[in-house]
A and B are shown apart, each in its own frame.
Chain A
Amino acid sequence: MSVDPMTYEAQFFGFTPQTCMFRIYIAFQDYLFEVMQAVEQVILKKMEGIPGCDITPVQIRKCTEKFLCFMKGHFDNLFGKMEQLFLQMILRIPPNILLPEDKCQEMYPYSEEEFQLLQKEIKELQEKCKVEMYTKQALLAELEEQKIVEDKLKQTLTLFDELENVGRDHGTSDFRESLVSVVQNSRKLQDIRDNVEKESKRLKIS
């Protein structure tokens, strides 16, 4: 007959029910022997006080053994029945009952395969997390760069604006026009100069 080690009960009680019963059996048996011993001692003592008593201690011992043997037989039989009831109704976790510390087995019945899948999914998510972090850093870096480039470009545009403004501050709205007008004016100046030179030559000669 295969022994039921009752490990689940041992998990709850912290001892195996069989051990508990064995401990109770030994204790009860010891008491039975002790009480029988005490009975025998008392009878022997009483006999000493009875004058002309022809009963010998050996006879009393035989009586004790006879009564004890009888009692022991019944004791074992009754204790066997009690032990069975104890193991069935008291020191036992009913098959449909789960201990609180094992509640998760019921709530998350995960096989090893499913658990590995879950761990794989977590690893993938961790990788994804990293990728997203790197992406974020790259995007932020590019935004940073863009800011710098934009500032530079805006500075350049401002420079051009300032150049235009310089022109404007001196009365010419548009450089091209101003250049043309400068060139025309300088040409006029050249003509005038030429004329002046011709005139002065002429005067010298005359």
Chain B
Amino acid sequence: GTAVSRVKLLDTMVDTFLQKLIAAGSYQRFTDCYKHFHQLQPEMTQRIYDKFVTQLQASIREEISEIKEEGNLETVLMSLDKIVEDGKKRKEPAWRPSGTPEKDLCSVLAPYFLQQRDTLRRHVQKQEAKNQELAEAVLAGRRQVEELQRQVQARQQAWQALHRERRELAAVLKEP
């Protein structure tokens, strides 16, 4: 059924412990032990016993409150209730530290390394795509340079041919 909160369980257990303890140390048992005194002072014995019971209960309850206070136990137990509630769907045993810190640390670091891997992957892909474009631009540039070099060469050859002809013609001219 519904889970009982740990704090409530704790209080119930302490109460039960006290009830049973007091039940064991009953007035009957008390007077058996302090028989003579009880015969002399029955009312006094009753009052002392009652005081014994209330004092013991008060001390133990106060101790529990102190421990709760000191360790902030109520909050801690309530947070544990929450954790257990959140995890109750899972039936099989959960992970526990292996005793080898290096081993356990792998899963702690994994998400960040996975993130880094994905970032690097994206980075590489992006850079590869960019470089692809650059490479195409370089190839186009090379073709462009070749074309220009060809054009320059053609013009240069034309001029050289012209220069040769001019020289020939000039030579012809010089003939006496």
Contact = CB atoms under 8 A, between A and B. Distances in A.
Contact of B131 (A14, A86, A109, A136): A136
B107 A104 contact: yes
A3 interface: no
Interface string B16-60: 110011001100011001111100110010001001100110011
B107 A105 contact: yes
B63 A128 contact: no
Contacts of A53: 40
B6 A89 contact: yes
B151 interface: yes
A109 B55 CA distance: 54
Nearest to A13: B76
A192 interface: no
A146 B106 contact: no
A53 B83 CA distance: 63
Contacts of A143: 134, 137-138, 141
Contact of A35 (B52, B121, B141): B52
Given A89-B9, A108-B111, A160-B159, A176 B165 contact: yes
Contact of B145 (A31, A149, A157): A149
B97 A108 contact: no
Given A50-B41, A97-B84, A112-B106, A146 B141 contact: yes
Contacts, number: 242
Contact of B116 (A27, A122, A160): A122
Interface residues of B, number: 89
A156 B148 CA distance: 10
What secondary structure prevails in chain B residues at the interface with A?
helix
A62 B71 CA distance: 39
Contact of A186 (B44, B51, B173): B173
Interface residues of A, number: 97
Contacts of B77: 90
B104 interface: yes
Nearest to B155: A160
Contacts of B6: 89-90
A190 B103 CA distance: 105
A16 B63 CA distance: 18
Contacts of A128: 120, 124
Contacts of B83: 97, 99-100
A85 B6 CA distance: 11
A78 B144 CA distance: 97
Question: Which of A11, A12, A135, A139 has the most CB atoms of chain B within a 10 A radius of its CB?
Answer: A139
Contact of B48 (A39, A94, A112): A39
A94 B60 contact: no
A17 to B, nearest CB: 11
Contact of A23 (B44, B67, B135, B151): B67
A34 B59 contact: yes
A187 to B, nearest CB: 7
A130 B48 CA distance: 87
